[in-house]
């Protein structure tokens, strides 16, 4: 080692200057590449998740829960960008404007792909061209709740329908937005019951819940997880849930099927979508990352607290589910005359 040091100190001055100049040039070239590499790394490391619901809503909980698990399991950072309004259509429009490099995903209710093509005469997006399925995220049952605007003696679905029929001016029922599954479930219920009602659309579940608790609306349909705590505290009364049988999270509440409405079986589900132009191989890698994050036991436990089941899928199986539900909802909407402007 000492011999090499001695040889370095014996280099001619001209060779030392030439070597130094070459080193400075190399460092300059390397530093010129660093901003671009940092920018590239930032694009790769951060996934922007557009969310169809406001802060505190079920979509927000799903987006943030999966985002946390992406960081915990894969070191992939996620930034949730809430874009509520127009029953999720604002968030879809934001996805359309996003770069097609896989850096932006949309977490939204399945209705944007299964229901809206038949609900709206005109959409600002093409569900086939602009929404590329990536993975399922979760599913849950819905529940019908009544608040203090409805007399305390109304404790069953049959009792509420009877009350609504006798008080049509007071039978105002909220939902998290026109065209959402809660809205459609309400429309199907009152159509089948032959009772007049008034739909009140909100920009998400939290403001609708505030008005239910305050007595501004009589009833509300939301994912059961958003209602369970208020039901337990007796601030509201849950009259029915939308699964094929009683919910494991609300065993004291009958289903719509059990209450005399055998066709009212509806599951709300949420999924991730990518812009339509994202390459298929990138979508496949995003789907694999999401499936690993959604498989986390910690996420399953978090979702269970809100009455949800964590559920992932491949892009192909999600596309198949969308096609199946489109075939279900199209005749349902026509039969019930449900349309939106």
- Quickly list DSSP for 133-194: EEEEEEEEEEEEEE-TTS-TT--SHHHHHHHHHH-GGG-EEEESSTTSHHHHHHHHHHHHHT
pLDDT of residue 304: 93
| pTM for the structure as a whole | 0.76
51 and 82 part of one domain: yes
Residue 173, C-beta contacts closer than 8 angstroms, at least 6 positions apart: 186, 190, 197, 198, 199, 200, 217, 218, 219, 220, 221
For residues 341 and 176, what is the distance between their CA atoms, to the nearest angstrom? 16
Contact status, residue 301 vs residue 217, Cβ threshold 8 Å: no
Q: Are residues 60 and 86 in the same domain?
A: yes
Q: What is the pLDDT of residue 60?
A: 93
Residue 25, pLDDT > 60, answer no
Q: Are residues 78 and 115 in the same domain?
A: yes
Distance CA 316, CA 270 (A): 16
Residue 176: per-residue pLDDT: 84
204 inside domain:
yes
Count of domains observed in the chain: 3
Residue 255 lies in a domain: no
Residues 277 and 228 in one domain: no
* Domain CATH code at residue 194: 3.40.190.10
CA neighbours closer than 13 Å in the CB half-sphere of residue 67: 22
pLDDT of residue 137: 98
Q: What is the pLDDT of residue 301?
A: 95
Average pLDDT on 56-76 reads: 91
Among 129, 97, 101, which residue's Cα sits nearest to residue 113?
Answer: 129
What tokens appear for 327 in the block? Answer: 């075939």
Please give the average per-residue pLDDT across 54-75, as a whole number. 91
DSSP string, 216-247: SSSEEEEEHHHHHHHHHTTSSEEEEE-SSS--
Looking at the predicted structure, is the pLDDT value of residue 204 above 90? Answer: no
Q: How many CB atoms lie within 10 A of CB 320?
A: 13
C-beta atoms surrounding 248 within 10 Å: 11
Residue 295 domain boundaries: 43-140+270-336
- What pLDDT score does 29 carry? 40
**Residue scoring higher pLDDT (23 or 144):** 144
**In a domain? residue 162:** yes
Tell me the C-alpha distance between 119 and 326, whole Å. 11
The yes-or-no verdict on residue 19 having pLDDT over 70 is: no
Co-location of 134 and 274 in the same domain = yes
CATH classification at residue 275: 3.40.190.150
Examine residue 312 and state whether it is found in any structural domain, yes or no: yes
**Contact by Cβ (8 Å): 271, 110:** yes
Residues 146 and 231 placed together within one structural domain of the fold: yes
* DSSP for 235-302, written as a single string: SSEEEEE-SSS--SS-TTS-BTTTTT-TT---EEEEEEEEETTS-HHHHHHHHHHHHHHHT-HHHHHH
What mean pLDDT value characterizes the chain? 86
Contact between 254 and 246 under an 8 Å Cβ cutoff? The reply is yes
Instruction: Give per-residue pLDDT as tens, 250-288.
Output: 999 999 999 999 989 999 999 999 999 999 999 999 999
Burial zone of 144 (CB within 10 Å; 0-12 exposed, 13-18 middle, 19+ buried): buried
User: How many angstroms separate the first and last alpha carbons of the chain?
Assistant: 82
Do 68 and 104 belong to one domain? yes
Q: Evaluate if residue 160 carries a pLDDT over 70.
A: yes
Q: Which two tokens stand for residue 58?
A: 């079920």
Does residue 250 form part of some domain? no
Q: What percent of the chain has pLDDT over 70?
A: 87
Is the model's pLDDT at 338 over the cut of 70?
Answer: yes
Rounded to an integer, the average pLDDT of 318-332 is 94
Same domain, 47 and 128: yes
* pLDDT tens per residue across span 79-101: 999 998 877 889 999 999 999 99
pLDDT, residue 44, reads: 52
CA–CA gap between residue 58 and residue 134 (Å, rounded): 19
> Is residue 249 assigned to a domain?
no
For the chain, what percent of residues have pLDDT higher than 90? Answer: 70
Q: Verify that 299 and 316 share a domain, yes or no.
A: yes
Confidence band (pLDDT; 50, 70, 90) for 16?
very low
Residue 264 lies in a domain: no
pLDDT per position as a tens digit, 130-154: 999 999 999 999 999 999 999 999 9
Q: Is the pLDDT of residue 172 over 90?
A: yes
Enter the DSSP assignment of 104: E
Judged against a pLDDT cut of 50, whether residue 28 lies above it is answered with no
């Amino acid at each position: 080692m000492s011999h090499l040091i001695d040889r370095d100190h014996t280099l001619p001055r001209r060779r030392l200057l030439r070597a130094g100049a070459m080193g400075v040039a190399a460092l300059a070239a390397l530093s010129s590449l660093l901003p671009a590499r940092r920018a590239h790394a930032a694009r790769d490391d951060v996934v922007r998740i557009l969310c169809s619901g406001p802060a505190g809503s079920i979509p927000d909980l799903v987006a943030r829960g999966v985002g946390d698990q992406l960081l915990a399991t894969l070191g992939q950072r996620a930034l949730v960008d809430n874009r509520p309004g127009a029953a999720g259509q604002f968030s879809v429009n934001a996805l359309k404007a996003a770069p097609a490099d896989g850096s932006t995903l949309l977490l939204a209710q399945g209705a944007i792909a299964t229901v809206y093509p038949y609900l709206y005469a005109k959409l600002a997006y093409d569900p086939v061209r602009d929404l590329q399925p990536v993975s399922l995220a979760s599913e849950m049952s819905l529940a019908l709740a009544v608040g203090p605007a409805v007399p305390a003696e109304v404790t069953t679905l049959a009792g509420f329908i009877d009350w609504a029929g006798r008080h049509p001016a007071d039978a105002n029922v909220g939902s998290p937005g026109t065209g959402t599954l809660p809205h459609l479930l309400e429309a199907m219920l009152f159509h089948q019951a032959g009772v007049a009602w008034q739909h009140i659309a909100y920009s998400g579940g939290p403001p609708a819940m505030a008005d239910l608790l305050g007595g501004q609306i009589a009833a509300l349909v939301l994912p059961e997880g958003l209602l369970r705590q208020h039901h337990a505290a007796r601030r509201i009364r849950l009259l029915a849930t939308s699964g094929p049988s009683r919910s494991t999270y609300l065993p004291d509440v009958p289903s719509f099927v059990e209450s005399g409405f055998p066709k009212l079986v509806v599951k709300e589900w949420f999924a991730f979508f990518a812009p339509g132009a994202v390459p298929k191989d990138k979508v496949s890698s995003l789907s694999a990352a999401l499936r690993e994050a959604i498989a986390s036991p910690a996420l399953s436990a978090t979702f269970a607290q809100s009455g949800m089941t964590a559920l992932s899928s491949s892009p192909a199986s999600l596309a198949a589910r969308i096609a199946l539900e489109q075939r279900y909802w199209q005749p349902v909407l026509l039969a019930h005359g449900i349309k939106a402007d």
